[in-house]
Amino acid sequence: MVIMAVDLGDARTGIAVSDSGESFAFPKGVIYERKKERLIEKLVNAAKENSAELIVVGLPKNMDGSEGFRAQECTQTAELLAAATNLPVKMWDERCTTVLAHNTLNYTNTRGQKRKQTVDAVAATLILESFLAARKNNKD
């Protein structure tokens, strides 16, 4: 099954996609959009283009596990996305993925504009990798 992961942001939204065997996660890019309606349209198109059968949306929980305003916004956007795509949409804890994405880009010495253009796609890839690992462990 092809799974698409989404790292929602205020201006930039990262996208990652798995292979059909659910073994690998690949960054697919960043959507630059502030308006929620247009963002949903672009996410629907991304899901179609990548033949996604399931969408995973990052849930930005607080470090204590509670959900704040941003988590509620992401959940609301995920519900709109589910209605627009008719695909199952799952929320996935994304705590620390942006920090890990920055660390990964530090390791590869990615700086400046290139960093800004890729960090959200890397974060989406980390969300998807975490989801795939948990899914694989639950199948055993």
Instruction: Show pLDDT as tens, one digit a residue, over the chain (140 residues).
Output: 999 999 998 898 999 999 999 999 999 999 999 999 999 999 999 999 999 999 999 998 766 777 778 889 999 999 999 999 999 999 998 765 565 555 565 555 555 555 456 667 878 898 999 899 889 888 64
Containing domain of residue 51, as a range?
Answer: 3-139
Confidence at residue 115, expressed as pLDDT on a 0 to 100 scale: 46
Residue-wise over 69-78: b if at least 16 C-beta within 10 A, else e? eebeebeebb
pTM: 0.84
Question: What letter does residue 12 receive in the DSSP assignment?
Answer: E
> Domain containing 121 — which CATH number?
3.30.420.140
Confidence at residue 71, expressed as pLDDT on a 0 to 100 scale: 85
Domain count, the chain: 1
Whether 105 and 122 have beta carbons less than 8 Å apart is answered as yes
Task: Name the H helices within the chain.
Answer: 36-49, 69-85, 97-107, 112-139
Structure tokens at 109: 């010495």
